[in-house]
């Protein structure tokens, strides 16, 4: 009898633990969501607001408290957020205390096409619509449309990632399929960039020229600065 009890007691304990685990798991799955928390990976300007993300998270127009963890499809919620024009990437997850959390990365514009149609070029080289909540301070792009804007992604991206160029360059104009010009914030001379080859060399030459001309107080004596030759900067005086 004692020997039988030695075998029965562990079995009962295992069954009891299993039952408690199953009960806790069932309660966890069926627990109602109590809150939604949205966070943005970058604290910069919001092209999509927390309120907009919250509305996307609440499925089927139900209130948050009525959504069941068992029926919530996180993949579908993530896909819904990632389909938004202003969202680059979203990750959605549940916490143990019943909160639905979303971490959102916004798309980041690096240039704005101005003309008959207006839109952004984002940091991934894709077309991004304007936001109703915030207007980005990025270089204006003239003479472009949806079919040509990708031509200068390399130039615009380089400007965005360089502190000096981002401070001084305010615009880029498409002269033709192989020639582009840059506009400066504080100077009235035109910077003829040429085509999209040797971007690094051209900009390094320009920065060296600009600093030297500033030191010599000669910036206002030029009407055109030509970078197309790559290995040199050719200036035309007024």
pLDDT tens track, the chain, 238 positions: 444 545 555 555 565 555 444 434 444 444 555 577 888 887 667 888 888 888 777 653 344 444 455 546 778 878 888 899 999 998 888 777 777 888 899 999 999 999 888 999 999 999 999 998 889 999 999 999 999 999 999 999 999 999 999 999 999 999 998 899 999 998 888 899 999 999 999 999 999 999 999 999 998 899 999 999 878 899 988 8
* Residue 147 confidence (pLDDT): 93
Separation CA 234–CA 189 (nearest Å): 13
CA terminus-to-terminus distance, the chain: 111
Q: What is the CATH number of domain 109-237?
A: 3.40.50
Separation CA 184–CA 4 (nearest Å): 91
> Taking a C-beta distance cutoff of 8 angstroms, is the pair 36, 102 a contact?
yes
Which pTM does this prediction carry? 0.77
If we measure between CA atoms, which residue out of 150, 131, 134 comes closest to residue 86?
A: 131
* Residue 86 confidence (pLDDT): 93
Separation CA 83–CA 137 (nearest Å): 25
Q: Which fold has domain 32-106?
A: Ubiquitin-like (UB roll) (3.10.20)
List the chain domain ranges: 32-106, 109-237
């Amino acid at each position: 009898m004692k020997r039988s009890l030695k075998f029965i007691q562990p079995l009962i304990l295992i069954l009891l633990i299993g039952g408690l685990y199953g009960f806790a798991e069932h309660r966890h799955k069926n627990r109602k969501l109590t809150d939604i928390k949205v966070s943005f990976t970058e604290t910069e300007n919001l092209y999509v607001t927390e309120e907009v993300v919250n509305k996307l998270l609440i499925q089927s127009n139900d209130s948050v408290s009525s959504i069941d963890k068992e029926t919530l499809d996180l993949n579908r919620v993530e896909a819904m957020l990632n389909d938004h024009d202003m969202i680059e990437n979203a990750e959605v997850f549940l916490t143990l205390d019943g909160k639905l959390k979303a971490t959102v990365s916004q798309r980041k514009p690096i240039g704005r096409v101005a003309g008959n149609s207006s839109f952004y070029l984002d940091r991934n080289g894709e077309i991004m619509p304007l936001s109703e909540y915030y207007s980005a301070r990025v270089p204006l792009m003239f003479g472009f449309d949806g079919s040509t804007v990708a031509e200068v992604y390399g130039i615009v991206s380089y400007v965005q990632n360089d502190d000096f160029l981002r401070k001084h360059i305010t615009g880029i104009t498409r002269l033709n399929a192989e020639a582009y010009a840059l506009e400066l914030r504080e100077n009235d001379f035109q910077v003829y960039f040429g085509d999209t080859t040797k971007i690094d060399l051209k900009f390094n030459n320009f920065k060296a020229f600009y600093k030297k001309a500033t030191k010599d107080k000669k910036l206002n004596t030029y009407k055109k600065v030509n970078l197309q030759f790559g290995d040199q900067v050719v200036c035309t005086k007024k």
